[in-house]
Chains A and B, each alone.
Chain A
Amino acid sequence: MAIFLYIKKFFISVYSIFLGFRVTLKNMFKKSVTLDYPLVKQPMKERFRGMVDLIPPDCVICYQCIRVCPTAALELAHVTKEDKKKEITKFVFNAEFCCFCGLCEEICPTDAIYLNKMYEVVYFDHQDMLSIDLMKADKYKFLNEKNPSCKI
């Protein structure tokens, strides 16, 4: 009887290995799911959360983004002029602290602060990413020149 069991086990083994190979064969002729990354780049989704960016004229200096930020990555200071108009003196973003949660974008009443679609973010100097001046228009310019695909 033992010999029959042995033969039965042998055939079951062969069958299960054949099944496995069939799966492999089926998948061999599938369309590739990966991209040739540095050459082919995936467009980011509409709600993608990249680097923090600001449209300076839209900012109403309500300090809500500063208050909601869980990691204190944003720093804002302002002065009140004689005609009671507020002016931003400092709006700095610390990319090292940022956890890219997007709460500042959600809470902003005028959509002045938002998260852009940059994802290849490399700085040559560590100090540069600790204090990114959001008031400057060309803050991410050199990154964009290096990576034309990830335009803001």
Chain B
Amino acid sequence: MKVGLFVPCYVDMFHPETGIATLELLERFGLSVEYPVDQTCCGQPMTNTGCEREAARTEELFVRNFEKYDYIVTPSGSCTNQVRNNMTAIEQSDAVKHVRGRTYELVEFLHDVLKVDAFPWAEFPHRVALHNNCNTLRNLRIASMTERREEPFSKPKALLKMVRGIEFADLTRPDECCGFGGTFSVFEEGVSAKMGQDKVTDQLKSGAEYVTSSDSSCMMHQEGCARRMGANLKYIHIAQILNGARA
């Protein structure tokens, strides 16, 4: 199984440790993982804003970079959603269809494809609040959502439960959007920041020491709000916890 690693632009720039943890974690399961160095972005900022035509060349580049892999794995559900469900600016060739069908968010790849049942190296004796990105939650269906009447499930929680010492902190509004919303965070800054502050307040109330998520983008926004508020909360990508980060 040949795996191509997609490291989204935010992760590449601001959270290389998340990319490294994702790579190392996949390698722990004996996979051959490559990172095509000419990758940039999935095209989401443009598509999200409605500018599909402006996204076309970025999408073409993405497909060129990743068409040779059996699976494309990325530590971002939001980008996965873009590739899988919204990469429609370009002609849907076999290569495009292959890439779109084979792109997985890290947690669902570990849970659904590799069916991982243990992380013997992982220990995280901390109180952790889990944040699910909205695309990851409601479009990729990584967990049950409070809006629907369905059997509760959570793929990230199922994985985290295999980590020694971890304790979960419950939020009062677990599925409430944190207000990042991609370009929403800059175009609609006021509401975005308020939603972020409310999310951080909820996290503080839960008694969490750490917040974890399979999406760096939401956490970058939340962390920005938390720092400005002087909130004592730490943000860590789920890939790092599962890879055995010790805080």
* A, B in one complex: no
B residues adjacent to A (C-beta < 8 A): none
